[in-house]
Chain A
């Protein structure tokens, strides 16, 4: 069925280190994946996306990797900052433009 999930519910990272947030998906027909950041009291905010014909995409301090063979998605945040503290969701966009979210990973930044 269509589902998107995450391996770890909570991740603690030292400030300045790189963060890696992982996600598994089960719908092999999905061709578009998105990472969102949700801070307390706010709605999800788009971070970066990737299409299924790509295996890597880079943004400002963020990189998304897609491994279609094992249906795995990851978000890498370089030089993690206190402002990166949030819940991160991976999501897949279905062919009829619905977005299916995973459960989220909370990222804690340690001083």
Chain B
């Protein structure tokens, strides 16, 4: 196990609702990256947080937002959920922004 934890494990939401996913980084890691993994696909980079600041963003709309807290844990928020948002959401932490990333087990989000 990597020491990266995510909650909840599974979540079911209705289209139009909002969701918050949480990630606790490995001890000593100051960087958290979030990925969306659709079924049968590779993870797609959403954004990265380094020392509480956004440090890069992928091709996701503004309704995907995030936070990183002083203890380096992180949240991913998605507003106005769409059916296509159904996916496994992964977070990964690293010692520094350019170091090896350690992935958590993910949160499975289903939007109906």
A pairs with B: yes
Interface residues of chain A, those whose CB is within 8 Å of chain B, are 4, 41-46, 49, 89, 91, 96-104
Query: How far apart sit A7 and B12, CA to CA, in the bound complex (Å)?
Result: 34
B100 interface hit (Cβ, 8 Å): yes
Chain B residues touching A, range: 20 to 34
Asked if B42 contacts A96 (CB within 8 A), the reply is: no
Which secondary structure characterizes the binding site on chain B?
loop
B49 interface hit (Cβ, 8 Å): no
On whether A104 and B56 interact (CB within 8 A), knowing A43-B104, A97-B97, the answer reads no
On whether A43 and B2 interact (CB within 8 A), knowing A89-B42, A101-B43, the answer reads yes
Question: In the assembled complex, which residues on chain A have CB atoms less than 8 Å from the CB atom of B40?
Answer: 103-104
Asked if B104 contacts A97 (CB within 8 A), the reply is: no
